[in-house]
Amino acid sequence: MIEYRNLKIAILGGGTVGANVVELLGRHREELEARVGTGLEVIGVAVRDANAPRTPAIPAELLTTDAESLLTAADIVVELIGGLEPARTYVLKALRSGADVITANKALLATHGPELFDAAEQVGAQLYYEAAVAAAIPIIRPLRESLAGDRIRRILGIVNGSTNFILDKMDIEGWSTDEAMRVARELGYLEADPTLDVEGYDAAQKAAILASLAFHTQVPLDAVHREGIAGVTHEQVAAAHDAGYVVKLLAIAERLDGPDGHEGVAARVHPALVPRDHPLAAVHGGNNAVFVEAEFAGELMFYGAGAGGVQTASAVLGDIVSAARRHLAGGPGVAESTSADLPVLPFAAVRTRYQVALDVADRPGVLAAVAQLVADHGVSIETASQTTRPGEGGAEPTATLVIVTHRAAESALAATVAALGRSEAVERVTSVLRVEGL
């Protein structure tokens, strides 16, 4: 019934992941072919410079610099080049030639996703990207298929292993920011230019992909509010520890009511205080986890290593098996659903909670003044706790006041903090962190 022929696989990119994919496909070829029900043949690995030094995992005869010829000859194209160009051009060309494409390229998807998904739909091909968000942690299929009949409310993800490693070491070992960064760099968790990780760009790309998928709505990368961990201090992490929280860099995508009362979606990346008994608080080191709040399924979490060549290769191989099975079954691929087409809301529309620490003068009426100022902005305080330090050398004693608000609009909270900074009752705003997972 089914014609038995080798499915032709082209790999674009000869880096670590590409080498791992070639090696694992070779090592487990029989096993994988038995699972798929047909032959799987790597017809070539496209690289920029065929003479560059590289791992012996890729046989020299597979190397080619002619990516375009390679990809048009393939049934399945695996894009592992990274970056926007020439990855975008190659992926479009592969899809238009009818090949299924597998990519681990988060930047490409977050930036050009709609164009690529459209191209796939036009010809009935399919774009797979399980490896793009959290390496081997299955999160794309669960959102795309298992939860396709549910309604997702919110996703909280620890999707960047480097920054989780840094924050985790600051929390557990009591290291300073600099020390944690230095060790992260030594252990290979950070690139020479750590901006992509530390400033939250990497997490923002993943947030855009997750938000688009979870809410059946195209969420562009530039709609993702982004704050990195560069401003997180040793003191904040230590204070969080004492207060029963842990600081995590979260990628958050959620369905919420917009200013006009209509439902929309918002996506953001920022450090946040997470209660220590929340499952995300137990995600240590370079691990990733995606916590999903769904209307019917309730709370789910997907946990594992979020990076690594072999881990990423595992996800790519899973996609290769899916693509191969689809080729055998025939019929068009399943189009990426943007059926909900919800409005994408600005960060100011998000409702969150703030923990604000203030240095204040230790005299009567200060707490009342602060509480009044906060209330004037329509924000209510859940807890306020004050610690007094004696003034040095006969000076007036000062106090640290830590307030945690109830949930309020981000715009109101930001305005509250700005007003606190200008208030005569307040000497200094020493820390502002959002609280999530309560």
For a second copy, the binding residues (CB under 8 A) are: 20, 24, 28, 31-32, 34-35, 37, 130, 135-138, 140-142, 145-151, 216, 279, 282, 294, 296-305, 308, 310-311, 313-322, 325, 329-335, 337, 339-340
Question: Can you give the chain as a three-state secondary structure string?
Answer: CCCCCEEEEEEECCCHHHHHHHHHHHHCHHHHHHHHCCEEEEEEEECCCCCCCCCCCCCHHHEECCHHHHHHCCCEEEECCCCCCCHHHHHHHHHHCCCEEEECCHHHHHHHHHHHHHHHHHHCCCEECCHHHHCCCCCHHHHHHHCCCCCEEEEEEECCHHHHHHHHHHHHCCCCHHHHHHHHHHCCCCCCCCHHHHCCHHHHHHHHHHHHHHHCCCCCHHHEEECCCCCCCHHHHHHHHHCCEEEEEEEEEEEEECCCCCEEEEEEEEEEEEECCCHHHHCCCCEEEEEEEECCCEEEEEEEECCCHHHHHHHHHHHHHHHHHHHHHCCCCCCCCCCCCCCECCHHHCEEEEEEEEEEECCCCHHHHHHHHHHHCCCCEEEEEEEEECCHHHCCCEEEEEEEECCEEHHHHHHHHHHHHHCCCEEEEEEEEEECCC
**Residue placing its CB nearer to a second copy in the complex, 233 or 337:** 337
- Given the residues 93, 106, 206, 248, the one annotated as active site: 206
**Residue placing its CB nearer to a second copy in the complex, 96 or 276:** 276
**Residue placing its CB nearer to a second copy in the complex, 51 or 339:** 339
**Residue placing its CB nearer to a second copy in the complex, 2 or 192:** 2
Q: Is 8 a catalytic residue?
A: no
CB of 68 to a second copy, least distance (A): 26
**Residue placing its CB nearer to a second copy in the complex, 252 or 315:** 315
CB of 215 to a second copy, least distance (A): 11
CB of 419 to a second copy, least distance (A): 40
CB of 299 to a second copy, least distance (A): 6
CB of 166 to a second copy, least distance (A): 20
Catalytic residues: 206
